[in-house]
């Protein structure tokens, strides 16, 4: 992609409406723009990140055997009356259609999936079944804030599983727990699972996945031993499951099994939440299957959510410096920025163009800054948008047959041949 053809409205100054660093940087890097309170446009650069996040989630969900589907955003309110929820409290956004029927813009999809299930699944042989979607949700939050962290319209991955018995539901719950840790770890995040309150979703048991951050909206308590476990590349799920951790609402100082000196208190950003639901929705909505013994069984359920759009902000909270974002490669909008330091100079143009084309041919995503701007402005933009690599061609280097390759994360710079630079970028 050529910067001269791209839509990248970067801002030099911190926007006054943003309080947290991720919100500031998402605005400054031209990733998002606010449309109305808690409602954001995802501009091209932001959308590339959102897609990469979705891709990791899809790969890991598919790997567990979950099946992707998509359900409408608009849901008939009658389903919510059947389940007994009636709506989603004050957060519900309603619309009335031309037939005077009330629709809810889905804040979550337990009712819709249970409706699909009861109409289409007949036998225990079809279970367990776990289906997920990545879909926009609307919750009329009282206090939308911190940009995409707490939005009103936001992107969620939500999955729902059905089982003939509790043991099977527990097995999937643990598989999801495991998959979630892998998902967050692939994005460079260290998440702590904590016992949580099930809130308006309901059910008997739930865990939130919390990324430690000062600006996090949740208060949590956890065993100090988590620190070593989350520092590891591969999370040790069995070890984690043995440790105590709880969200504020669940923490009970009087009955806490962890000695005070080993108990840590912190703040976190909730990036995921998994629930064991029991038969709350299946029983209320009349979902049942024929069991092995020919008798009807009301299926046990679980549901598992990830805040997809919130993750984009969370990754920035966890990975930035004073110059801007530092994208982990797995979610970076482009892997490399090729910077032509003297646009219009024949030798610089030729060397930059050549590298740009070679990298694209090799399947590497590149943002090629071919604009007539100062070197300083170009470097500042590259640092701000945080691509993992920067390859800069200036007149001196081009004469000497070199490019300056910079690693955004380590800040290391090397004057090397274009060939050597490409090999480094491609990890050869
Ligand atoms: N039905 C279940 C999961 S399938 C559910 O809705 N769970 S939830 O309410 O906990 O939401 C799942 C995840 O969505 C949360 O963990 C959080 O990461 C994200 N989320 C919730 N509300 C918002 C919001 N207002 N803005 C951005 N992300 C949100």
Q: pTM of the entire structure?
A: 0.97
Structure confidence by residue, pLDDT tens digits, 19-56: 999 999 999 999 999 999 999 999 999 999 999 999 99
Residue-by-residue DSSP string for 27-42: HHTTSEEEEETTEEEE
Q: Using DSSP bridges, classify how beta strands 336-340 and 389-393 pair: parallel, antiparallel or unpaired.
A: parallel
pLDDT for residue 204 = 84
Q: How many CA atoms lie within 13 A of 417 on its CB side?
A: 3
What are the C-alpha distances in Å from 40 to residues 92, 150, 333, 400?
19, 11, 18, 46
50 touches ligand 1 (CB under 6 Å): no
Ligand 1 centroid from CA 212, angstroms: 17
Q: How far apart are CA 347 and CA 138, in angstroms?
A: 52
Q: What is the pLDDT of residue 136?
A: 98
Diameter over CA atoms, the chain? 82
Provide the CB-side half-sphere exposure for 412 (13 A, CA).
Answer: 6
DSSP-derived letter for residue 32 is E
DSSP class of residue 362? T
Tell how far the Cα of 307 is from the centroid of ligand 1, in angstroms: 5
Beta carbon of 141 within 6 Å of any ligand 1 atom: yes
Domains and CATH numbers, the chain: 3-321 (3.30.930.10), 336-425 (3.40.50.800)
Assess whether pLDDT exceeds 90 at residue 202. no
Provide φ and ψ at 352, rounded to 5°. -65, -45
Protein residue with least CA distance to atom 3, ligand 1: 305
Q: Is the CB of 273 under 6 A from ligand 1?
A: yes
Mean pLDDT rounded to a whole number for the chain:
97
- Residue pair 247/208 in contact (Cβ under 8 Å)? The answer is yes
What letters, b where the CB count within 10 A reaches 16 and e where it falls short, cover 226-261? Answer: beebbeeeebebeebeebbbbbeebbeeeeeebeee
Distance CA 403, CA 382 (A): 16
For atom 23 of ligand 1, the residue with the nearest CA is 150
Cβ of 151 below 6 Å from ligand 1 = yes
The H or E element that residue 309 is part of is helix 308-318
Pocket test for ligand 1, best of 132, 139, 302, 305 (most atoms within 8 A of CB): 305
When pLDDT is averaged across residues 73-97 and rounded to a whole number, the result is: 97
Cβ of residue 314 lying under 6 Å from some atom of ligand 1 = no
Determine contact, residues 1/288, Cβ cutoff 8 Å.
no
Q: DSSP assignment, residue 14?
A: P
Q: Is 188 a residue whose pLDDT tops 90?
A: yes
């Amino acid at each position: 992609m050529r910067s001269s053809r791209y839509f990248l409205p970067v801002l030099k100054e911190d926007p006054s409406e943003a309080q947290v660093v991720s919100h500031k940087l998402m605005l400054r890097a031209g990733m998002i723009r606010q449309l109305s309170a808690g409602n954001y446009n995802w501009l091209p650069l932001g959308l590339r990140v959102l897609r990469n996040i979705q891709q990791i989630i899809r790969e890991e969900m598919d790997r567990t055997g979950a099946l992707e589907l998509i359900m409408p955003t608009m849901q008939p309110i009658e389903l919510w009356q059947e389940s007994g929820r009636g709506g989603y409290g004050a957060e519900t956004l309603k619309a009335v259609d031309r037939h005077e029927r009330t629709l809810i813009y889905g804040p979550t999809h337990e009712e819709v999936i249970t409706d699909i299930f009861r109409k289409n699944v007949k036998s225990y042989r079809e279970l367990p079944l776990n289906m997920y979607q990545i879909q926009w949700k609307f919750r009329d939050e009282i206090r939308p804030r911190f940009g995409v962290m707490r939005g009103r319209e936001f992107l969620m991955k939500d999955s729902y599983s059905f089982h003939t018995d509790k043991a099977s539901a527990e097995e999937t719950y643990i598989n999801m727990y495991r998959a979630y840790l892998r998902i967050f770890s692939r994005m460079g995040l260290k998440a702590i699972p904590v016992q949580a309150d099930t809130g308006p979703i309901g059910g008997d048991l739930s865990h939130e996945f919390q990324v430690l951050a000062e600006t996090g909206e949740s208060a949590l308590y956890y065993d100090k031993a988590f620190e070593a476990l989350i520092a590891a590349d591969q999370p040790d799920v069995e070890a984690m499951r043995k440790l105590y951790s709880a969200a504020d609402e669940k923490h009970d100082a009087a009955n806490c099994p962890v000695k005070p000196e080993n108990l840590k208190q912190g703040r976190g950003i909730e990036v995921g939440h998994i629930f064991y639901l029991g038969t709350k929705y299946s029983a209320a909505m009349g979902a049942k299957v024929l069991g092995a013994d020919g008798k009807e069984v009301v299926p046990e359920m679980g549901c598992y959510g990830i805040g997809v759009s919130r993750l984009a902000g969370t990754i920035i909270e966890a990975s930035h410096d004073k110059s801007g974002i530092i994208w982990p490669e797995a979610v970076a909008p482009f892997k490399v920025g090729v910077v032509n330091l003297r646009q219009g100079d024949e030798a610089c143009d030729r060397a930059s163009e050549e590298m740009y084309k070679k990298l694209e041919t090799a399947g590497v995503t590149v943002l090629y800054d071919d604009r007539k701007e100062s070197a300083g402005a170009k470097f500042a933009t590259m640092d701000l948008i945080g691509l993992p690599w920067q390859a800069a061609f200036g007149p001196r280097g081009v004469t000497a047959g070199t490019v300056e390759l910079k690693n955004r994360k380590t800040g290391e710079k090397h004057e090397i041949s274009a060939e050597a630079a490409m090999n480094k970028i491609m990890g050869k």
